Amino acid sequence: MPGFYHSRDLRRGRFSEPERIYLITTVTRDRKPVFRDLWAGRALVRVLGEIQHRSMADTLAFVVMPDHLHWLMQLGMERDLSGIVAAVKSLSARRIAGRSLWQPGFHDHAIREEEDLAGMARYIVANPLRAGLVRRVADYPHWDAIWL
């Protein structure tokens, strides 16, 4: 079908730029609200920490929503963006569900120098507020940002 793309095709023909900052969005399979469960959400947060500990990427901000993840991160030196997202998905799926958890593919936005990173982080972590999940961002358990 012309003009129709699968999520797995989003990165075709693109390359990862080491030390570049990216905003990643990835969604659970069938948009199941897996991360409504506190334990599952914290497990994903621990995976993001592990990725940072391994120097694969530096997390600048994130929010784990019930059925998706927004992750503002800086790619490590000589790292592949698709490989890092695949590692997050694989590790979290094995630890949380023991099977496939995520839809194939992901959306990424390479951040330009002139973009306001702190403002972007505020927007990311305010997602639960805009979705009506909480009355105050501080009441939501699955977010962080280096500026806040």
Count of structural domains within the chain? 1
Alpha helices for 1-80 (secondary structure H): 38-53
User: CA nearest 58: which of 120, 121, 146?
Assistant: 146
Confidence at residue 11, expressed as pLDDT on a 0 to 100 scale: 47
Q: What is the largest distance, in Å, between two alpha-carbon atoms of the chain? A: 45
Asked whether residue 137 is assigned to any structural domain, the reply reads yes
For helices 81-96 and 38-53, what crossing angle results, to 10°?
A: 140
Beta strand pairing call for 68-75 and 143-145: unpaired
In a domain, 51, yes or no: yes
pLDDT for the residue numbered 14: 60
Q: Which CATH number do you get for residue 122?
A: 3.30.70.1290
> Is 27 within the bounds of a domain?
yes
Residue 3 lies in a domain: no
Low pLDDT (below 50) residues in the chain: 1-7, 10-11
Residues above pLDDT 70, as percent of the chain: 91
Residue 5 maps to a domain? no
Domain that holds residue 121: 15-145
Rounded distance between C-alpha atoms, residue 99 and residue 117, angstroms: 34
Nearest to 144 by CA among 76, 68, 60, 84: 60
Output the average pLDDT for the chain.
Answer: 91
The answer to the question of residue 2 being in a domain is: no
- Structure token digits, residue 104: 């194939």
Rg (CA), the chain: 15
Task: Give the model's pLDDT for residue 4.
Answer: 40
Burial class from Cβ neighbours inside 10 Å (0-12, 13-18, 19+) for residue 110 reads middle
Residue 7 included in any domain: no
Residue 108 belongs to a domain: yes
- Look at residue 81 in the predicted model and tell me its pLDDT: 95
